[in-house]
Chain A
Amino acid sequence: MNTLEFDILLPAFLAGLLVLATHIPFGMRVLQRGVIFADLAVAQIAGLGGVIAGLLDLADQPLLVQLIAAASALCGAALLAWIERNAAEVKEAYIGLTFVLAASLGILLMSRDVHAGEHLKDLLVGQILWVNNTQLIGTAVLSAVLLIVWRSLHGSPSHLVFYALFALAITASVQLVGIYLVFASLIVPALATYQLQQCRMTFAFGIGIAGYVLGLLLSVWLDLPAGVAIVWAMAVVGLSTAILKRPG
């Protein structure tokens, strides 16, 4: 590999590490709670915030757009916490419905304002190769804060606090790497190590990191789009680990 390719891959790899840092512990919790699609719902609600920012003509103030997106995601988190407390048995149905309603409302609002549509797309379709330094630094600071709060609560916060942390992490990561990679980073390492008793966290990080490295290398060697190559690489690594390490 020459230095040019390394130059392109390094920021993308760092973005992947940042996403994994928060998403692996959150993913395990999401799997345990059975709210797999909560990330899609939260991302869509954050995107809706972006549309509203566009409608209010704030598109040229990126910080404000981010704040509105984060605030919407937090409202979504409150809604998810309420659903989990009051309708635990059918929560997946409610979460799915929340996703569909947020996505449809986005399209309804967009039909009046084409500028807003671009924002919804930007918020949802992050592409990992276009990551810039500002985004990396911003996400690093946010991830550090989220992890410190998570640690200080010993990994067992209340519904509301969990969803709030989760919502902020998703809002940042979706813009960094896109919705497919967020979903894969959240679920694949957690699912592949589901039955491990020891060193679960180590294996989960191993799978995640191996997925990003392998996917990025495949993107160079085989001339493939990077994001989707990483999703498949991570799934293959995860599946192999699950088969090799299966109990009994």
Chain B
Amino acid sequence: MNLKSKSSPQRHRDTEKSEKQSKAFRAFFQESQGWLPLYLRVSVVKIFCLSLSLLLLTIPAHAALNVFACEPEWAALTQELAGDKATLYTATGALQDPHRIEARPSLIARARRANLVVCTGAELEVAWLPVVLRESGNNTVLPGSDGYFEAAQFVTMLEVPTRLDRGEGDVHALGNPHIQTDPRNFLPVAEALGKRLAQLDPGHAAHYRQRLAAFKQQWRAAIAKWEAQAAPLKGVAVVLQHKGLPYLSHWLGLNEVVALEPKPGMEPSAAHLAQVLNTLQKQPARMVLRAAYQNERPSEWIAQRAHIAAVVLPYTVGGSDKAKDLYGLFDDTIARLLAGLQ
């Protein structure tokens, strides 16, 4: 049963492909009919068939790995490290809350075909990924196997609770999982991911090694550039809409004065807001920060009352028009923070 359902979508796609090919073939053949002599026509057909079969043979070598990325930042990193050697699928969009997404059959189908699952881990995807992986029936990408990669394992986690108390709301036992807001975290993750890619696709190990080295060099240079640009941000007091940016604050030395929403998506009490305004009177902040996927109303509320700038951060790749890849993500993040200072 399982086997059957696995092979049928594949077969369907194959028929589709061969239909397309035969159509192209017919068109080519008819076009050539008028002016090519018969023996040439036959050899054209032969060459065509030969090149087609060569092409079909080379397709698997071109896209060796099917990679299922939980978040856009890991898809972007895999793209940097694998180039054309991986076919990418991203499970969540930049404007979705990665904690909560709708389970769709397409997710399970993609997980079924995946050779490698690249996720944040640290309980970020705990609400949906275990179900998707279980339903996929794909043993090679289950947690613990080589096809399962958790970025958070290679990063020094912040906000690891000393005492676990779920009453505090959105607490992650393994620390805050939103590690993608500090570019320095991408270095150890890239190192491990590059090795994993080479391990899963040993035929192209040299390719991955070379791309990893190039990425590390470029990324270090980019970090140095961003840090120079972001120098005026050091020690700047900010309000957070929701506590989710500890890595960014840690990296740039932002001073998180207070957070508006103690629990994400839950309306705070009037007492909490009074406390926020009280704190801001004593310690004025320069701007309020929110991620692109969050509702704008809380930020706008505090921006109007405390007369500070409301800054929307792309938060991940695709979160703004300029954050098209990993470099764009941090270019835009720094640019928006600097604009908030003015």
Contact = CB atoms under 8 A, between A and B. Distances in A.
A223 B267 contact: no
Interface in B210-228: none
B269 A225 contact: yes
A224 B277 contact: no
Nearest to A133: B304
Instruction: Name the interface size band of chain A.
Output: 35 or more
Nearest to A11: B301
A226 B269 contact: yes
Interface stretch (A14-22, A107-115, A191-199): A107-115
B163 interface: no
Contacts of A130: 297-298, 300-301
A132 interface: yes
A9 interface: yes
A221 to B, nearest CB: 7
B334 to A, nearest CB: 23
A44 interface: no
Interface string A115-148: 1011001100101111111000000000000000
B274 to A, nearest CB: 4
B20 interface: no
A47 interface: no
B13 interface: no
Interface in B264-291: 266-274, 277-278, 281
Given A118-B295, A127-B297, A132-B300, A219 B271 contact: yes
A118 B95 contact: yes
Interface residues of B, number: 25
Interface string A209-243: 00000001001111111111100000000000000
Interface of B is mostly: helix
Contacts of A8: 270, 273-274, 277
The CB with the most chain B CB atoms within 10 A, among A111, A129, A226, is that of A129
Interface of B: 93, 95-96, 102, 104, 266-274, 277-278, 281, 293, 295, 297-298, 300-301, 304-305
9 closest A-B pairs by beta carbon, nearest first, are A130-B297, A219-B270, A225-B267, A114-B93, A5-B274, A127-B267, A223-B271, A130-B301, A223-B269
29 contacts: A2-B274, A5-B271, A7-B305, A9-B270, A12-B270, A114-B96, A117-B96, A122-B295, A125-B295, A129-B267, A129-B270, A129-B273, A130-B297, A130-B300, A132-B300, A219-B271, A220-B270, A220-B274, A222-B269, A222-B271, A223-B269, A223-B272, A225-B266, A225-B268, A226-B269, A226-B270, A227-B267, A228-B267, A229-B269
